[in-house]
Structure 1
């Protein structure tokens, strides 16, 4: 399903109300400003704190990255055990990606501190 954009809503308002066409001819800037305000009021921006879809995608992708890194570490350890190497070497990029993804995941999942309300 395609998301309806503000310009689509604006066009449907103009098509549905013939008086807007005449108003645009006479005073285009003022009429379009009025229409844009109506569209903004009827379609408010979703704040990031309420955008659950994007939040879930971010948590899912970061979790997947952490799991892939853990899997890669397990493979490196198994290869080191097969080759009987004393200490397995982990690539620096693997450590960097894993720690960054884990830190970002912790930041997303940590509770947000509320500012105390001033006492009156």
Structure 2
């Protein structure tokens, strides 16, 4: 999970992942989304590949990258208790706000 968190820490790598959610893409297509040179994009893709977040396949002379969402499963499981915490807090806040509202009937 540390490799996944490290990979997600960089904004450029998140842009790449966001693009790959839509569809697989070539290095050139991904490079067009970023304000960095193609070698930098390749380095980011290597980090994503090593973290298990993307797969690459050869298609003639092109490399096509695709998202591996299963690599995010451990992170999703780790975040679960934090989601539950916020859900409970927001439910309690909603109840508190509802309790403080004046009765809607009879008001004009």
TM interval, shorter chain, is 0.3 to 0.5
Larger RCO: 1 or 2 (CA < 8 Å, sep 6+): 2
Q: TM-score, normalised by structure 1?
A: 0.32
Structure having the higher strand fraction is 2
